[in-house]
Chain A
Amino acid sequence: MIWKLMKKELKEFLKTGKIYVLLFSLLFFGISSPIIAKFTPEIIESLVKNQEMQGLIIQLPPPTWKDAFMQFFKNLNQIVFLIIVLLFIGSISEEKNKNTASIFIALGIDRKKWILSKFLFQIIITYTFLLISFIACTYYTYFLFSKFPIQNSLSAMLLYFIYIFFILSLIIFSSSLGNNFIQSAGIFLGIFIIFNLLSIFPNMDPYNPMSLSSLQNEWILKSVIWKDALKNITFTLIYSFILLISGIISFERQEL
């Protein structure tokens, strides 16, 4: 049943064109990040020349593969993050709002399976496109810089996968609680801000999913130390499962 419901999600995603938004934005950032990293110094140099500021001396270190991946993860954590939230936040709440959910539930579709199918679809589609984007970034990084350490970039990407698992769980929770797009977005934003505010307390970092992104940068710039991330990963996964289960329980108790 979950598989059939996931196929329904896929058909919806195709029909609304959302699939292309996610695929092309991820592909764009996968390709553009190494290119931007490579040519930023040259662009700045040419700008200085054009602006007749020849007297100004700008010294930029030569770009490396690290800049390419730093740029890639920066884009993932900002623009791609926003795209994912906007695409998925109404997945449950808008079906409640438009009464399309009640038709399925009245046909005896298990509420748990209905939510899980949405979550699994979102995970699979996001992970698949992230992987494609990562491969594109890796290819262009290697092409432009002739070097990239697989361990650093892949480990950082794995951390991002775990972070996205948390974000998608939070999306399911918010969408299950809210009765429309705006309400769900508000719930999501509220919880997201609380986790971000926790970053003020450095001793909370091992328990805060938001610090996974600073670890990504560290792993790109320095070296991969899984031990440092273990607590963070464990707690992120615990939060994710709590959010997911709470979202399911909340939806099971709701009147449609």
Chain B
Amino acid sequence: MNIIETFNLCKYYKNKKALDNLNLEVPDGIIFGYLGPNGAGKTTTIRLLLNLAKPTNGYAIIMGENILKSKNYLRKIGFLPDVPNFYNYFTAKEYLKILAEILGVDKKRVDEVLELVDLKNEKKRIGTFSRGMKQRLGIAQTLLHNPKLLILDEPTSALDPQGRKEILDLIKSLKGSKTIFFSTHILSDVEKICDKVAIIKDGKLLLNENVEELKKRYAKRLITIEVDNKDILLEKLKDKPWVINITTHNKSLLLNINNISMAQKEIPKIISENNLSLIHFEFLEPTIEDIFFEVIS
């Protein structure tokens, strides 16, 4: 079942198409990576889904509700904007207590979520928080009313490596209990935590697929082999019909092949027949970064 489905969702700003007939499907219970370069339309999509802007055309169904007809679904969403801003004069606890009261949430929940993001004992005013702390508070705020869906707009974009790791670990820990819609332009983040990705460029959806299937589909069929005598192996492999090309890297060979099953059968046979010692054998998978650049180009 899809938790978010968009149907020809469009957003025009005067003559500029910020979003062009977006048809997106986000299944329930996964971490969904929404990828795209800056200005691709990621934040516009999120703003449309959250009733912060109105679509020029099209609509979306979120948790079974049409976003043009109902606003009830918003109560089941936790939202973290790309630049989270809070009332700087409150402490984290004071701020979340106010929010809890407005949302009708038990105030005990405030301590729970603050503990989760490691801000329970923080007595300073939000105005003095670092960017990472604000981001963690933002995540606490998204979790306060125990929503079914979290929409996080570039939650790691302005953080240092340590801060990024903390936020990614936090998001990862929520896997299974929530659906997480996670927009970013940091490809390694997606690789680490996402189950499914969509790639958007110039407002157009270029791809919407499971990470594993995507990697299989875009697999370049690369094999790296290291043996004790690479020259013999090179000689035996170079005329095989399933080998496209071979390059040497230090002590290993990098094979670009077009038939995995043939390679799997014949390579061990050649090694055995020529009495070579196998040191390393690996099928190389494409990274999300490889796929991203291939798709957007």
State yes or no: do A and B come from one complex. Answer: yes
Residues on A facing B (Cβ under 8 Å): 1, 4-5, 7-8, 11-12, 15-16, 98-100, 102-110, 255-256
Q: Which residue of B lies closest to A14 (CB)?
A: B89
Q: Which residue of A lies closest to B151 (CB)?
A: A106
B90 in contact (CB, < 8 A): yes
Q: What's the dominant secondary structure at chain A's contact region?
A: helix
Q: Which residue of A lies closest to B76 (CB)?
A: A108
Is there an interface contact between A108 and B71, defined as CB atoms closer than 8 Å? yes
B109 in contact (CB, < 8 A): no
A142 to B136, CA, bound (A): 58
Given contacts A4-B101, A109-B102, A255-B53, contact A103 B89 (CB under 8 A): no
For this complex, 26 residue pairs linking A to B, each with C-beta atoms less than 8 Å apart, are A5-B102, A11-B90, A12-B87, A12-B89, A15-B87, A15-B89, A15-B90, A15-B94, A98-B85, A99-B81, A99-B84, A99-B85, A100-B85, A102-B52, A103-B81, A103-B86, A103-B141, A105-B50, A106-B74, A107-B79, A107-B99, A107-B102, A108-B51, A108-B74, A110-B71, A255-B52
- Which of A1, A4, A12, A103 has the largest count of B CB atoms less than 10 A from its CB? A103
What residues of A have a CB within 8 angstroms of the CB of B90 in the complex? 11, 15
Number of residues of chain B lying within 8 A (CB) of chain A: 29
Given contacts A5-B102, A106-B77, 15 further A-B contacts (CB under 8 A): A1-B102, A4-B102, A8-B101, A11-B98, A15-B87, A15-B94, A16-B89, A98-B85, A99-B84, A100-B85, A100-B86, A103-B86, A105-B51, A107-B79, A108-B73
B63 CB to nearest A CB, Å: 12
B221 CB to nearest A CB, Å: 45
What residues of A have a CB within 8 angstroms of the CB of B141 in the complex? 103
A237 CB to nearest B CB, Å: 30
B212 CB to nearest A CB, Å: 32
A11 CB to nearest B CB, Å: 6
B97 CB to nearest A CB, Å: 9
A98 to B87, CA, bound (A): 9
A113 CB to nearest B CB, Å: 10
Given contacts A108-B71, A255-B47, contact A103 B79 (CB under 8 A): yes
